[in-house]
Structure 1
Amino acid sequence: MGQIEIGLFEHSGWELDLEKRELRAMGAPVPLGSRAFEILETLAVSSGRIVTKDELMKRVWPGMVVEENTLQVHISAIRRALGKDRDLLRTVSGRGYRLLGEWTEPEKRFADPTPATLVRSSEREGFVTNIPSAASELIGRQAAISHIVTLMSAYRLVTLTGPGGIGKTVLASEVARRLQPTIDGDAFFVELVSLSDPNLVPTTLAQALDLRLQSDDVSAELVARAIGNRKMLLLIDNCEHVVDAAAEMIEAMLRACPNVSVLATSRELLRIEGEFTYRVPPLDVPANEKAGDPLTHSAVQLFVARTRALQSDFRTSGDSVSTIAGICRHLDGIPLAIEFAAARAATLGLQQIAGRLDDRFVLLTGGRRTALPRHRTLRAALDWSYELLPEGERRLLCSLSVYPAGFTLEAAMAASGEDEEETALGLSNLVTKSLVTFDGTEAAPRWRLLETVRVYSLEKLGGGTDYQMTMRRTAAFFLSLFRPFSSEDSLQLAIDGLGRYRREIDNLRAALTWALSSEGDGKLGAGLAAVASDFWIATSLVSESGEWAKKALSCLEGEEGGRTELVLQCALGFAMIYTQGMSEQGRTVLARALTLAETLGDQDYQQRVTCALWLFSARSVELDDALVYAQEYEKRAGGGDARSRATAAWMSGIPQTYQAHHVEAHDRLDWAARNSPSNNRRTDMLRLGADIPTSSMAHNTVNLISLGRLEAASQAAEDSVDEARATKQPFVFCVALAWASAFVSLSLDNEARARQWGEELTAHALQHGLKPFYAVGICVRGSLASRSGSPAEGIHALRAGIRDMQESSYLLFYPFFMCELAAALQAAGRLDEALLEIDRAQKFSVEKSYRWIVPELLRKKGEIIAAQDVDETLVVDLFREAGRRASAQGGLYWELTAGMTYAEYLTSRGDLGAAQEILRPVYQRFREGFSSPRLLRAKTLLDTKQ
């Protein structure tokens, strides 16, 4: 590239001194890193022309491979240095950069273009350094090292910040070692940790640099003048406890010493001109137990490396690695804490460490003997930062510790009891001191404490008056925040903004736990539990809604009979239906809720509780009661709008389905599915405990199968599962899966679909604590086992599932799976037991008017007796009665099933003609479903030649 001109460029108060390699604003030096200065120099001598990115990289990094983002870092540094005149440096899209303005021509002097900072190691002989050697391998910091090295060539001051134990000193030392071969000067490590008097900062620096100062009063300016034009890199460590003096010293050097670059470490920003702050992040931890291979994460790698250094035979396995990942996650990826944990694991074992992390400040001590005293225990590391805080910031930090899930500014104000201005200022200071972490976005700002800092601060808050006052303020804050969930008018808006509330789940739990404890405020807690009851349902936490409601009802403290009790009783009743089934206690809870709703004249909750009592009756197969509640709902709702009419049709159609009024039930459920308004669908799920469209489709499959519309039934099952899955509501999804896997897939002999949906049902119900649906899933599994040749396994699963159904009084599937159990017992040759189960199912169906399944029970009974080969007349009578019952109910499919079994029985006795005569008229009435297994069997028999 040849030689470049050296001189002085000037423009609008700016001076670019190429000889002193200094940028000045109105005569005052502006800190700028060496390579950033060379970029600016190259642009200045180009007299306003565009300089391409390639030209700049070849000029500033000759012979080196440099990524484009490195150039961008330096461009940003120049713009930052130019301040309000940052637009002088213009990016020309796709081409390069140019420096705008009329800059004066330089004096014609020349110099070698080789960058002054790129010096071969052989030329460094005679330079002084006291940068410590690495004590061990630095794990997980390679990207950070590369980035900071780049920053050091763009800025003259880079400050590494972060909480105690994050590894600032170790990282800075490694960066300094990497930079040593590239600087044409000395490199010094200056440790400030031992200073108790800030006035000693200049003296400490002078001693470290071996400056000969002829003065009794060593000041920052004197030290800076003594350094002068010497080229050097300074690593100034642990500035936070003397931050003002350290900032004054560094600022004086940046102003007076153009060839000095500073890498500082501090838990608090220095806040001086030209400072670039790099927040040292925690080590990488697995986000959760399912986040791939834990050994690819740096925190886990550090734990394993440190443990092996103390226990050479330490080995990792699947379980141990998962445990280590959990420990590292619990310790926020903080290297110091992980090293302590590894040291303890080497002597106590992994499980001891994992089980005692709640007492981390007692457990996590030790580390290297050569470590600083404040790095020998986890508590000491945090004590150092805490004791440097002014009293107001200590109080704020402690109050923020009650938020395990982070917090907004409003939440911080609530916890502290201070106004917005004071809270915001204190919060900002805690962020700069690395005790609070920004954890949101510009649009939704949010902050949090690392868990270790939070546990420490919560311990400092204590359990006395300050803690009680803080928790009372936060509980009151969440009472206000979640209030939109308690009003029908604002419920939809709250659901639409659910993400905002979802972030507060752990904070809400903490507030409720305190308020409903013996030390809390029961009245406040009951109000909060009531306000948040619909929130828990909206977030698919049905069981938790019930748990909080139950605790809150015992803490009403004179508030019995009011709306708070009404809401809690309703929430508890709904939760009990879905998690425990139809227990007598649940009925009592709902009856109390209805009495309260009527007494208070609350129309919304009258409808809610009526629907809950209907749901209770329908699922316990009290079908006549369910129809009464359906009529009561329709009367309470007035029957005016589409929403009320669709709900009433759904409530009437379901009991009619199981009473075998298939045509009328189908029409009602089909209408409800198609006409239920979509605009209030999510709120209706909370109010009614069901999703009208998916529930209507799921139940209607029973009518469609019975009416012989087999393809329509299969499609309705598919649609209901897809629709329910989209709602992301566990109880809605389980309803669709239960009907699709059992009534549809098993009835149509589609074992593959039954297995897929049944396993998904079992897993989903187990995950969300929905015991009745889990019982259905277990029964599906048992039916499939028996049908695939393992009747003993099937019997065991079916008995277990049926037992759970009985215990929870969830009986809609009871006769169906009793019939499946009888089939499994028949397959196992246990015919007497099979008949006993069929008789029980028949008795139940008669008592409950559960008529749709009766034809199938009669058919199955005839089949079992035929296997006993004792009474042919009884067998024939049962098959014929099954067909007559099915025909009377309009149950074409069950008529075919009964006729098919009867025909096969006659065929086995050599009477094929009679068999075909019975089967043909039934088969000919079908209009779809010809590829289903039972219709294929019928066609095969009908096509058999006599």
Structure 2
Amino acid sequence: MRAHSGRLVYELDEWEVDLARRELRARGVPVPIGGRAFEIIEVLVRSAGELVTKNDLSARVWPGAIVEENTLQFHISAIRKALGSDRGLLKTASGRGYRLIGAWTSRQECTLSGDSIDLEPMRSPAEPFQTNLPAAASELVGRTNAMQHLRGLLSAYRVVTLTGPGGIGKTRLALEVARGLFPSFQGDVRLVELVSLSDPALVPTAVTGGLGLKFGGDEISAESVARAIGAQRLLLVLDNCEHVIDAAARLVETIVRMCSRTTILATSREILKIEGEYVYRVPPLDVPSQHEEPDDILGRSAVQLFIATTRALHSDFPPNGENLAAIAAICRRLDGIPLAIDFAATRVATLGLQQVAASLNDHLGMLTGGRRTALPRHQTLRATLDWSYELLPEPERLVMRRLAVFAGDFTAEAAGSVAAAGEISVSEAVCSLANLVTKSLVTLEAGGVIAHHRLHETTRGYALEKLVESGEFDQVACRHANYYRDLFDRAEIELETLPPPAWLARYGHQIGQVRAALDWAFSPAGDAEVGVALTVAAVPLWVHLSLTEECRGRVERALSGPAESRDARRNMQLYAALGAALFLTKGSCPEMVAAFASAFEIAESLDDTDYRLRALWGAFMEHITSLRYRAALAVAVKFCSYATKSTDPADGLIGDRLAGVALLALGELESARRHIERMMGRYVARTSHTIRFQFDQQLLAHSYHCRILWLQGFPDQALRSIESHLVAARTSDHPYSLFSGLLQTACPVALLVGDLTLAERYVKALMDLSARHAVELWTLGGRCFGGMLLIKRGDIGAGLEFLRAAFARVPQGAFTLFYTPVLAEIGDALGRDGKAAEGLSIIDEALARSDSNEERWCVAELLRIKGELILREGAPQAAAAAEEHFLRSLDWARRQGALSWELRTSTSLALLQYNQGRIAESRSLLQPVYDRFSEGFETADLKTAKAYLNSWK
């Protein structure tokens, strides 16, 4: 690959400072350290042991900013902590500055290896930095110093964990810090809420959702998430880690190790206990002492929060005189816990301040007794929750405990449907919900088009206890599961009316509710029938979120019970969903074949055209990936036959596309083009087609059409079509389809026409896509094309090594129309590299494959390359043998109407004839083929042919 660029690395004994990767490493292992702290190390290591003054260091690390001395000391402390037992390497000259001692040496490391390709990015509009942080519902009171301190911590450390008891305000503080950093962060700031997870294995999946990643078929793991993040600058906020602490710790440790520009801010009642973690124990708000003056009382943060909350409901509340003493007593009694103070303050409007103070004092005194336990704030908050709950009228108590079944946020409609039963109506439930919001027991998040509510995790835990104690848990959980089953039944209908981004904005965040409902439904006390119905209804959600592994696991769970416990339609739907999920996660496999076969058998018995077609799509994919193209064509014909009974006219057109792909593979180009163009001319895209048949059908049709255009001698039209359909693929927000367009068409056609600059862009785009979605198979495909690009640029040895290493790991049926032409490229390159005998062996293997599976579309090129290799080998009678293969190649190309193959072979044969002195014969062969082209005269093959013709005059 062109020039090798260098990367400067400083080293001393076991330590390395990698300036390009921004890594401090010990024994080759990255040591977690914040961005500003690393910049200090960089300044010091570049100074070669010389003293760097404090002023100079501050000016170079914080240019244009006024930096207090304690801020610099704070970061120096973080560096010493990272150096561990070698902290003495960082020396302080008292009152003057710092130096990094030791005989540090520097070396240049090559940035180009078998694992990376230095290519320019594909042109696309600049994207702004992203965040999914919710808007602040109200001002965060009393945390100014904490926020400033945390901003410093996040520039010095890679992992900062906010810890403390429930209700202390960890989440609100983390979100406020993140919101404050976002405008100047120069990277994405993302929130991932873990509170709704019951399965620790879903932690990486939750993070992919929060980051907006869409994975392919590979398993979602800590490593795949880290690979997808890569080198992008990111502040990741992980909220409520304690109940999945081990999984969260593994994920954070992996991200910190693999992603040098990612910083993590976590909230958890339990610390992560990983290397490089800085633990910040969130303090309670500042409370007044027993005998403070009024002005001092008003300066306490706990009092400020109490007054702000009270005034939000009671605007003329007068915080003075006797009131201040009562407020101070309440804040002291509540230990400065923000959530408890909110509860108490909201009661002032209805009970009055003195009544709140008296009743709280009595209640807490009775519940906590005189002697405190080891966790006094937990005890205080529990007592405050009891007090708040007992003050509620019975309808509000009932609604509050029933709301505990929701995992995460919910709408008022959902709350009314789930909480209303027996003695309370929907309208009463919604009214009670509003009252619970005013009493700070439920949070209202009104940032979007639809307002959402949620219980604070501490309040939810308390309410869940009350729900279980009431004996209602299973009934409420059943209503919750039924509600979301009905919701996603409606959502599937809306797939046809809402664009995918709008559909996801409305339903994507409900994944936590689906998980919670399914966990209950398949529990011993649950309702498996409801679970099966919800599983079927939620399949489009998993597909849209690219959670194919999770979809497969949930469907397998739904199928694990006795088949007779489900009706035939449900079994059919589950088998079809399982087949699709297996195809996307494991490729064509016996389990996928069995699942689609079961779906088809039931669909036949039910005379269900829709599911017949889904099952036939699965059978088609199994044949096409197993390289049984004639069988694939037969299935496509069968698909078209059944599609005549469908109410959706597009189904027949999708059948045309399937037939066109099979015909293309078989080398029947004109018929393939006719089928695909019929589909392209009449098809109207619908989201449901992507759900049913896994890919954007229109984009796939364009992909194969482009390849046919090139084969038939229309390279310019092929390139224009590629550009237009890749733009559409980008906007479709469907990574599978974009990947298919790049791998099936853009990369190979750009290489075929010889536009290496364009090919470079496409290969880089493919590699970026595979890294973004952490799909190893996609990465291997991209590396194969990267190797071909090197070969085309003349670096044959390196290109071959790169290509063969990647190709050896690609399963034979992984990509349609991929394996055989790559074998051809390897064989041809071996000949160019002086290894014609080895190349002939490869080409003979490709020809044997072509003969056995009837993959005829590139047989002309295989025969041409074999002829060239025979000439390179130089055996006796080589010219005659080569000419025989060239003539066979021409015969295939002409019968198929593959003008581009015909031109290549005519050029090879004409050159052979010219070298034998058959000059007139060579011109009479090549000129008519060249003259049949009406475009593409700047492409490589046509320019080569033209150059020969001009020189043979």
Task: Give TM class, smaller chain.
Answer: 0.5 to 0.7
Q: Which residue of structure 2 aligns with residue 406 of structure 1?
A: 409
Contact persistence 1:748–1:934 (CA under 8 A)? yes
Contact persistence 2:707–2:745 (CA under 8 A)? no
Structure 1 residues 688 and 936 mapped into 2: Cα distance closer, same or farther (>3 Å)? same
The aligned amino acid for 1:890 is G
Contact persistence 2:137–2:445 (CA under 8 A)? no
> Which of 709, 719, 727 pairs up with 1:714?
719
> Which of 846, 850, 853 pairs up with 1:845?
850
Q: Deviation of residue 608 (structure 1)?
A: 1.9
The aligned runs of 1:794-809 (5 Å cut-off) are: 794-799=799-804, 801-806=806-811, 809=814
| C-alpha distance after superposition, 1:124-169 (max 9, x if no partner) | xxxxxxxxxxxx99xxxxxxxxxxxxxxxxxxxxxxx999xx9645
> Which of 675, 679, 684 pairs up with 1:677?
684
Structure 2: how far apart are the matches of 1:618 and 1:909? 44
Q: Which residue of structure 2 aligns with residue 745 of structure 1?
A: 750
Structure 1 residues 741 and 532 mapped into 2: Cα distance closer, same or farther (>3 Å)? same
Q: Which residue of structure 1 aligns with residue 532 of structure 2?
A: 526
Contact persistence 1:587–1:616 (CA under 8 A)? yes
| C-alpha distance after superposition, 1:607-644 (max 9, x if no partner) | 22222322332333322112211221222122787524
Structure 1 residues 591 and 396 mapped into 2: Cα distance closer, same or farther (>3 Å)? same
Q: Deviation of residue 895 (structure 1)?
A: 0.7
Structure 2: how far apart are the matches of 1:490 and 1:281? 38
| C-alpha distance after superposition, 1:909-944 (max 9, x if no partner) | 676555433321211111111111111111111111
The aligned runs of 1:736-775 (5 Å cut-off) are: 736-765=741-770, 767-768=772-773, 773-775=778-780
The aligned amino acid for 2:185 is D
Contact persistence 1:382–1:453 (CA under 8 A)? no
Structure 1 residues 548 and 170 mapped into 2: Cα distance closer, same or farther (>3 Å)? closer
Q: Deviation of residue 577 (structure 1)?
A: 2.3
The aligned amino acid for 1:284 is E
Q: What SS does the aligned partner of 1:929 have?
A: coil
Q: Deviation of residue 474 (structure 1)?
A: 1.8
Q: Which residue of structure 2 aligns with residue 930 of structure 1?
A: 937
Q: What SS does the aligned partner of 1:595 have?
A: helix
Q: Which residue of structure 1 aligns with residue 667 of structure 2?
A: 660
Q: Deviation of residue 710 (structure 1)?
A: 1.1
Q: What SS does the aligned partner of 2:237 have?
A: helix
Q: Which residue of structure 1 aligns with residue 365 of structure 2?
A: none
| C-alpha distance after superposition, 1:204-253 (max 9, x if no partner) | xxxxxxxxxxxxxxxxxxxxxxxxxxxxxxxxxxxxxxxxxxxxxxxxxx
Structure 1: how far apart are the matches of 2:799 and 2:188? 43
Structure 1 residues 462 and 812 mapped into 2: Cα distance closer, same or farther (>3 Å)? farther
Q: Deviation of residue 736 (structure 1)?
A: 1.8
Structure 1 residues 894 and 173 mapped into 2: Cα distance closer, same or farther (>3 Å)? closer
- TM-score with structure 2 length normalisation? 0.60
1:579 aligns with 2:579: no
Contact persistence 1:669–1:700 (CA under 8 A)? yes
- Alignment RMSD (CA, Å): 4.6
Structure 2: how far apart are the matches of 1:352 and 1:907? 66
Structure 2: how far apart are the matches of 1:659 and 1:692? 21
Structure 2: how far apart are the matches of 1:592 and 1:374? 62
Structure 2: how far apart are the matches of 1:706 and 1:296? 44
The aligned amino acid for 1:550 is E
Q: What SS does the aligned partner of 1:390 have?
A: helix
Structure 2: how far apart are the matches of 1:784 and 1:517? 54
Contact persistence 2:410–2:453 (CA under 8 A)? yes
Q: Which residue of structure 1 aligns with residue 3 of structure 2?
A: none
Structure 2: how far apart are the matches of 1:399 and 1:631? 54
Contact persistence 1:755–1:780 (CA under 8 A)? no
Q: Deviation of residue 449 (structure 1)?
A: 3.8
1:512 aligns with 2:525: no
Structure 2: how far apart are the matches of 1:321 and 1:736? 25
The aligned amino acid for 1:659 is L
Q: What SS does the aligned partner of 2:932 have?
A: coil
The aligned runs of 1:273-672 (5 Å cut-off) are: 284-286=176-178, 293=185, 326=237, 357=268, 359=270, 367=283, 373=335, 375=337, 379=378, 382-383=381-382, 385-391=384-390, 396-397=399-400, 399-418=402-421, 419-440=425-446, 444-450=450-456, 468-485=474-491, 497-516=503-522, 520-555=526-561, 558-560=564-566, 562-638=568-644, 642-672=649-679
The aligned amino acid for 1:867 is R
1:832 aligns with 2:837: yes
Contact persistence 1:578–1:770 (CA under 8 A)? no
Q: Which residue of structure 2 aligns with residue 817 of structure 1?
A: 822
Q: Which residue of structure 2 aligns with residue 891 of structure 1?
A: 898
| C-alpha distance after superposition, 1:3-57 (max 9, x if no partner) | xxxxxxxxxxxxxxxxxxxxxxxxxxxxxxxxxxxxxxxxxxxxxxxxxxxxxxx
Q: Deviation of residue 566 (structure 1)?
A: 1.0
The aligned amino acid for 1:635 is S
Structure 1 residues 763 and 515 mapped into 2: Cα distance closer, same or farther (>3 Å)? farther
Q: Which residue of structure 2 aligns with residue 869 of structure 1?
A: 874
Q: Deviation of residue 773 (structure 1)?
A: 4.5
Structure 2: how far apart are the matches of 1:298 and 1:806? 36
Structure 2: how far apart are the matches of 1:710 and 1:889? 17
Q: Deviation of residue 675 (structure 1)?
A: 0.8
Q: What SS does the aligned partner of 1:447 have?
A: strand
Contact persistence 2:630–2:666 (CA under 8 A)? no
Structure 2: how far apart are the matches of 1:457 and 1:808? 53
Structure 1 residues 934 and 329 mapped into 2: Cα distance closer, same or farther (>3 Å)? farther
Q: Which has the larger radius of gyration?
A: 1
Q: Deviation of residue 469 (structure 1)?
A: 4.6
Q: Deviation of residue 491 (structure 1)?
A: 5.7
Percent sequence identity is: 25
Contact persistence 1:685–1:691 (CA under 8 A)? yes
Structure 2: how far apart are the matches of 1:579 and 1:167? 45
Structure 1 residues 786 and 280 mapped into 2: Cα distance closer, same or farther (>3 Å)? closer
Contact persistence 1:474–1:511 (CA under 8 A)? yes
1:688 aligns with 2:693: yes
Contact persistence 1:579–1:770 (CA under 8 A)? no
Larger relative contact order (CA 8 Å, sep ≥ 6): 2
Q: Deviation of residue 475 (structure 1)?
A: 1.6
Structure 2: how far apart are the matches of 1:897 and 1:689? 36
The aligned runs of 1:17-96 (5 Å cut-off) are: none
| C-alpha distance after superposition, 1:296-335 (max 9, x if no partner) | 9999xxxxxxxxxxxxxxxxxx99998985357979xxxx
The alignment covers a number of residue pairs equal to 647
Contact persistence 1:631–1:648 (CA under 8 A)? yes
Q: What SS does the aligned partner of 1:326 have?
A: strand
- TM-score with structure 1 length normalisation? 0.60
Q: What SS does the aligned partner of 1:927 have?
A: coil
Q: What SS does the aligned partner of 1:806 have?
A: coil
Contact persistence 1:364–1:378 (CA under 8 A)? no
Structure 2: how far apart are the matches of 1:717 and 1:773? 19
> Which of 922, 925, 932 pairs up with 1:918?
925
Contact persistence 2:744–2:818 (CA under 8 A)? no
The aligned amino acid for 2:628 is E
Structure 1 residues 825 and 291 mapped into 2: Cα distance closer, same or farther (>3 Å)? farther
Contact persistence 2:753–2:939 (CA under 8 A)? yes
Judge which range, 507-516 or 471-480, deviates more. 507-516
Structure 1: how far apart are the matches of 2:834 and 2:456? 64
| C-alpha distance after superposition, 1:842-873 (max 9, x if no partner) | 11111111101101111122222322222332
Contact persistence 2:531–2:558 (CA under 8 A)? yes
Contact persistence 2:866–2:885 (CA under 8 A)? yes
Contact persistence 2:236–2:264 (CA under 8 A)? no
Contact persistence 1:660–1:889 (CA under 8 A)? yes
